[in-house]
Structure 1
Amino acid sequence: MNIYLVGDIQGCHAELCQLMKLINFDRQTDQIWFTGDLVARGPDSLATLRLIKSLGNSAKIVLGNHDLHLLAVHAGIKKVKKNDRLDDLLRSPDIDELMNWLAQYPLVEQLPNENAYMSHAGLSPQWQPEDALAQSNFVQQRISGNQREHWLNLMYGSMPNSWKDANTEEEQFRFSVNALTRMRFCFSDGSLEFTHKDSPSLNQDPNLSPWFDLSKSIDKTQWVFGHWASLNGEVGNSNVYALDTGCVWGGELTMLRWHDKKLFSVPAQR
């Protein structure tokens, strides 16, 4: 079985189809692992979700911040943003079915029989991989359960930004969502910072470092993530794989074949 991991689709359905054709994807023998942010900003989020859902067990998914926001919009907690281009999806006759399907997915997946993981944003420097898995399970149980709206409403906000300050279930939920779906830079103590989105080469704040430069687990753990398009796949660490190469912004859509670490990319069609 070939496992392919792909960066943020964000509604770029045509490019996803092109990339699947490029790798000769066979749903009987292959899997595609999606790093989250399946929807928003691109031209066809509806077709993207329908395609990925149709893959069944051939698709592995972790949720990204745009996916969680879509669930909140569908629940009536937030209003849709015009530039997210979600109107067709939200008006579709199968919207409820799609949202119930999407809400079942975790924030972290472990690759089979390996000390290797995938999440949308990365691994908090304040956590070990087993902490991330435990908190992913904690979040997944709440978002997939019958109190989904209650918990989705609680995920908004940037505090606490340090795990040691997350004392209640609600605070642990919010920190976990932020660490696994929004994180890029962190302060030296591993606490989260949400303002800076540029590449590390453009960062002029000496108090901030990319999460993967601060993590004490990365030397013995492999981690695959998306979310940070301005990295353009460059992290300077052989155990870390950044797969968001900005297709929705006119860049490329990129897949990694796991067993030999070969990259496959197609350019944005717009």
Structure 2
Amino acid sequence: MTKATPPVWVIGDVQGCATALDTLLAHPEIAAQPEAQLWFAGDLTNRGPDSAGTLRRIRDLGSRAVTVLGNHDLHLLAVAAGIRKPGKSDTFCDVLNAPDADELILWLRQQPLAHHLDGYLMVHAGVVPQWTVQQTLECAQEVQAALSSDAWRERLGNMYGNEPNRWRDDLGRNKRLRIIVNALTRIRMCTRKGRMDFTLKGAPAPDADLLPWFDVPKRATRGEATILFGHWSTLGLMVRPDAICLDTGCVWGRQLTALRLNDRKIIQIEAAGLVPQGLVGE
């Protein structure tokens, strides 16, 4: 007898909202499926009140949980490594000051930046139009290997900056790592020729040249996989055959969203406002 494939729930940006996550996981439809896989689209930490608790809850799910890293998670790693200083709006000092801080940081930097299964590719922000699914996975693995290495602090320090903003196969190691991180954890808009633009953080607006990354013509992943992503709270819930956005602004007082892959069932938990409304950040 063929073993049934367990259901998969994909969950948008938690960003330290551990109470909302607990409420979501206790929802009758999710709690009734203890065999279900739980995929997290990155940005587990920051801006919310309990980043440490969020990391422990997801880590303790063991093999049930699959997560990819988001830009806020990488920022936490950079602060932990002494590469960057916490910003005024950062709320992950509970991780840095925790008695199990070393364990939480080690677990976080061992997580991937992309996950692919059964026609779905999960990343935090998106992909550059030049990449196929296989290229995306290979590029993500380069960053994961760097973060898992003994030299992770040095490697992470070279991953910050907006340039280069267009993919080329002949980029050197540091430039490769930088553009891979930017594509997988920060991208929103691209030119029609596939050059990333980081100026827009709000909802997509009509533009003669700039397009949401998922609408760029001749995107190589189109037709290969449905891309699952978060990162774009001002875009909000978007469910299309080729792309699904699940960042519904929990930390901005809106919802934490889970979507079941097999039937596109959506469950949303309303979250109390945790920061002033109208703020938008990476």
TM-score (ref. length: structure 1): 0.94
1:4 paired with 2:5, answer no
Specify the alignment match of 1:266 in structure 2: 269
2:49 counterpart (43, 48, 63): 43
Looking at structure 2, the residues matched to 27 and 174 of structure 1 have their Cα atoms a distance apart, in angstroms, of: 39
The 1:259/1:131 distance shift into structure 2, 3 A limit, reads same
Specify the alignment match of 1:213 in structure 2: 215
Specify the alignment match of 2:71 in structure 1: 65
Q: By how many angstroms is 1:27 displaced?
A: 7.8
User: Secondary structure at 2:181's aligned position in 1?
Assistant: helix
Q: By how many angstroms is 1:24 displaced?
A: 3.4
The 1:72/1:6 distance shift into structure 2, 3 A limit, reads same
Q: By how many angstroms is 1:83 displaced?
A: 1.2
Q: By how many angstroms is 1:167 displaced?
A: 1.6
1:179 paired with 2:183, answer yes
1:96 paired with 2:102, answer yes
The 1:251/1:176 distance shift into structure 2, 3 A limit, reads same
Deviations 1:76-126 (A, max 9, x none): 111112312122221111011100011111110012xx1211000112112
1:152 counterpart (153, 156, 166): 156
The 1:145/1:227 distance shift into structure 2, 3 A limit, reads same
The 1:28/1:250 distance shift into structure 2, 3 A limit, reads closer
User: Secondary structure at 2:26's aligned position in 1?
Assistant: helix
The 1:75/1:27 distance shift into structure 2, 3 A limit, reads farther
Specify the alignment match of 1:253 in structure 2: 256
Q: By how many angstroms is 1:166 displaced?
A: 5.6
Assess if the C-alpha contact under 8 Å between 1:19 and 1:265 holds in 2: yes
1:129 paired with 2:156, answer no
> What are the equivalent positions in structure 2 for 1:162-241 lying under 5 Å apart?
162-164=166-168, 167-200=171-204, 203-214=205-216, 215-234=219-238, 237-241=240-244
User: Secondary structure at 1:4's aligned position in 2?
Assistant: strand
Assess if the C-alpha contact under 8 Å between 1:160 and 1:171 holds in 2: yes
Structure 1: 5+ residue runs without aligned partners?
Answer: none
Q: What amino acid sits opposite 2:10 in the alignment?
A: L
Looking at structure 1, the residues matched to 73 and 31 of structure 2 have their Cα atoms a distance apart, in angstroms, of: 24
Looking at structure 2, the residues matched to 66 and 131 of structure 1 have their Cα atoms a distance apart, in angstroms, of: 24
2:88 counterpart (78, 82, 106): 82
Aligned residues: 265
TM-score (ref. length: structure 2): 0.90
Assess if the C-alpha contact under 8 Å between 1:161 and 1:193 holds in 2: yes
Q: By how many angstroms is 1:238 displaced?
A: 2.0
Specify the alignment match of 2:121 in structure 1: 117
Specify the alignment match of 2:280 in structure 1: none
